Amino acid sequence: MKDVIVQYIKNEYLEDDEDLEIDENTKLISNGIIDSFSMVSLKAFLEKKYDVHIPDEKASPEAFDTVKKIIELIKELKKK
């Protein structure tokens, strides 16, 4: 799951010449990699890819700030 999400973020939100390394603890929103518009498309990708519904109240900047937090959110929602 981590590799799929990291690859999606690299493909969608980083320029080809950007040499930024992203891992599960990279601050995505705090570092400006993902903005509010990007967060909407990332949410849609995650919902489709992992067959979950992410309620708007759960799709907070805090919940989407690292890949690790995104994975925790998806796992929490899959349990329901």
CA angle 26, 70, 74 (to 5 degrees): 160
Domains of the chain, each with CATH number or no CATH: 2-79 (1.10.1200.10)
Tokens of 36: 């509010």
Instruction: Please give the pLDDT value at position 17.
Output: 65
C-alpha 29 chain-centroid distance:
9
Question: In whole numbers, what is the pLDDT of the chain averaged over residues?
Answer: 93
Cα dihedral 39, 44, 47, 50 sign: negative
Which of helix, strand or coil describes residue 78?
helix
Q: What are the tens digits of pLDDT across the range 49-59?
A: 999 999 999 99
Mean pLDDT on 61-70:
96
At 5-23, the pLDDT tens digits run 999 999 999 887 677 889 9
pLDDT at 72 over 70: yes
pTM over cut 0.85: yes
